[in-house]
Amino acid sequence: MNILIVDDQVSVQKSTSYALRAMGHETFIANNTKQAERILEEEPIHAMFLDVMLGPESGLDFLPKLPELGVEIPVIVFTAQTSVEAAVEAMRRGAHDYIQKPFIPEDIKQKLAKLEQQRKLTTKVRELEGRVASNQPALLLESNEPAMKKAFDMAFRAAPSEATVLILGPSGTGKTVLARSVHERSARADKPFVTINCPSLSKELLESELFGHVKGSFTGALKDTWGKVATADGGTLFLDEIGEVPLEIQPKLLRLLQDREYERVGDTRTRKANVRLIAATNRDLAKEVAEGRFREDLFYRLKVIGVEMPALVDRPGDMPVLMENYLKFFAAAKGQPKLKFSREAALALADYTWPGNLRELRNVVERAVILSSGEEIEPADLPEEFTSKSEESSAVRPGHFVTIDRLEEEHIRRVVAKVDSLDQAAKIMGIDIATLYRKRKRLGMVTTTIDTSKRVEA
């Protein structure tokens, strides 16, 4: 953490700073509140030690000013041993804790350990509150499919390291979820996970959002700000859609990655960044490099660990578990925990190409649960594209591992859908009608008696 010590006694400044640095923190010293204000403006400070007796000034009066300065950090005050009132008053004015003078380095260590513990708890509580409030379906971070297994394995093996991870894959495949899971499995887990969505901002705003800016550095820069690099201090910065970062900003990102250094917009001072970077894109970055839209050096720096998320259509083996997971969640929310997919609806879902990947699957299942009126979800509860199947929307495509039965069923279904009678379908398939009937029965495609004259349900 970056910690500011505000005290006019050199011996206190030195001993506090020494104890904090020994714990691995960065320290900044101010003799009075004016200097403290300047440092707070210039540095991303995470906590403050403040003396209540600052020569002619009162540290107590400085406490209520902090929110006005936009500073929301924990403050530990130094009080004289005899002054219990000052300690009480400081807490009343917003201090987090207090230490009585004289103190030993161990006191500083203990107070800070307590503060860090509280910070961890606050982060955890916020995260849990977020999860409860958003009430999300469970995340499935295991797979039956080799390509997905490889991606999870690669990402989670790299998680405890400091290595930059680049997650590639189509939209909705779970890149953001994976980035967060990597962070949660790292030593930085109790520090912030900060996302920056690169394409949603103009070039100027993106730079300022990343690195911060100083007042007056561009039109609209009305006060000094700290960017997301500073907010993520100690934690992970997730650069979503990195493929869309303008070329002008790419050298700055490269420097951040290579040297962990940056400057705020309009500031000459170089600062150190303590962030782990994870980036994601649905663009083909190698192609972007070849076409001159993405710097090659940045690409290779980002790709220390490259993880490729497969499209959902390439994960047929995971479909049953994913479908059930979403169904369980939305059905329980509707108060119908026993709701099931009918066989036809399950097949229609399995046969679809899922251009929107997991995001689309989740939405389709949620919609179907809402629309269903019986004990089973029927094809009619699915969007139109699921019932008007085209040949391309089948799961039975080259390279897909399906059983012979599945292949046979798909073929029968397609032929039957295109002709007017089962007789005709049997002829096309080169089998007699009785064989076709037996096959359909065995594959669970018929429930009632056969009518060979009419077109039947596919």
Ligand X SMILES: Nc1ncnc2c1ncn2[C@@H]1O[C@H](COP(=O)(O)OP(=O)(O)OP(=O)(O)O)[C@@H](O)[C@H]1O
| Residue 234 or 356 with smaller CB distance to ligand X | 356
Provide CB contacts within 8 A for 194, sequence distance 6+.
228, 231, 232, 235, 236, 237, 238
Segment interacting with ligand X (CB under 6 A) among 5-13, 21-29, 54-62, 355-363: 355-363
CB of 122 to ligand X, least distance (A): 24
Integer angstrom CA distances of residue 219 from 167, 205, 226: 35, 11, 17
Contact 43, 29 (CB under 8 A): no
Q: Is the peptide bond before 102 cis (omega within 30 degrees of 0)?
A: yes
| Residue 46 or 315 with smaller CB distance to ligand X | 315
Measured from each CB, the residue nearest to ligand X is: 174
The correct pick among 71, 73, 80, 141 for binding ligand X (CB under 6 A) is 141
CB of 101 to ligand X, least distance (A): 51
Does position 176 bind ligand X by CB under 6 A? yes
CB of 252 to ligand X, least distance (A): 23
CB of 31 to ligand X, least distance (A): 48
Contact 39, 73 (CB under 8 A): no
Does position 362 bind ligand X by CB under 6 A? yes
Residue with tokens 């969640």: 329
CB of 182 to ligand X, least distance (A): 12
The correct pick among 174, 212, 227, 243 for binding ligand X (CB under 6 A) is 174
CA distance 303 to 280: 10
Segment interacting with ligand X (CB under 6 A) among 56-64, 173-181, 312-320, 345-353: 173-181
| Residue 30 or 312 with smaller CB distance to ligand X | 312
CB of 60 to ligand X, least distance (A): 47
- How many residues sit close enough to ligand X to count as binding (CB under 6 A)? 16
Contact 85, 53 (CB under 8 A): no
| Residue 197 or 231 with smaller CB distance to ligand X | 197
The correct pick among 358, 364, 365, 369 for binding ligand X (CB under 6 A) is 358
CA distance 78 to 305: 47
Q: What is the largest CA-CA distance in the chain?
A: 104
* Interacting positions 250-289 with ligand X (CB under 6 A): 282
| Residue 47 or 242 with smaller CB distance to ligand X | 242
CB of 257 to ligand X, least distance (A): 21
The correct pick among 111, 175, 264, 439 for binding ligand X (CB under 6 A) is 175
Contact 385, 352 (CB under 8 A): yes
Q: What angle do CA 440, 328, 282 make, to 5 degrees?
A: 90
Segment interacting with ligand X (CB under 6 A) among 5-13, 47-55, 167-175, 253-261: 167-175
Segment interacting with ligand X (CB under 6 A) among 17-25, 46-54, 168-176, 329-337: 168-176
Single out the residue of 338, 339, 329, 277 nearest to residue 304, CA to CA: 277
Integer angstrom CA distances of residue 278 from 160, 166, 207, 267, 287: 13, 6, 17, 26, 20
| Residue 104 or 139 with smaller CB distance to ligand X | 139
Question: 352 in the Ramachandran plot: left (φ > 0), alpha (ψ -120 to 50) or beta?
Answer: beta
- Long-range CB contact pairs, 119-126, < 8 A, 24+: 119/74, 119/190, 120/190, 123/190, 123/191, 123/192, 124/190
Single out the residue of 126, 96, 102 nearest to residue 114, CA to CA: 96
CB of 176 to ligand X, least distance (A): 3
Segment interacting with ligand X (CB under 6 A) among 78-86, 164-172, 249-257, 430-438: 164-172
Residue 142: burial class (beta carbons within 10 Å; 0-12, 13-18, 19+): exposed
Does position 236 bind ligand X by CB under 6 A? no
The correct pick among 44, 74, 172, 379 for binding ligand X (CB under 6 A) is 172
| Residue 77 or 182 with smaller CB distance to ligand X | 182
The correct pick among 139, 147, 286, 370 for binding ligand X (CB under 6 A) is 139
Contact 239, 209 (CB under 8 A): no
| Residue 35 or 171 with smaller CB distance to ligand X | 171
| Residue 172 or 310 with smaller CB distance to ligand X | 172
Does position 163 bind ligand X by CB under 6 A? no
Tokens of 372: 């269903």
Segment interacting with ligand X (CB under 6 A) among 267-275, 346-354, 358-366, 402-410: 358-366
CB of 181 to ligand X, least distance (A): 8
| Residue 214 or 349 with smaller CB distance to ligand X | 349
Residues forming beta bridges with residue 47, ordered by sequence position: 3
Determine how β-strand 165-168 pairs with β-strand 305-308.
Answer: parallel
Contacts with ligand X by CB under 6 A lie at 139-141, 169, 171-177, 240, 282, 358-359, 362
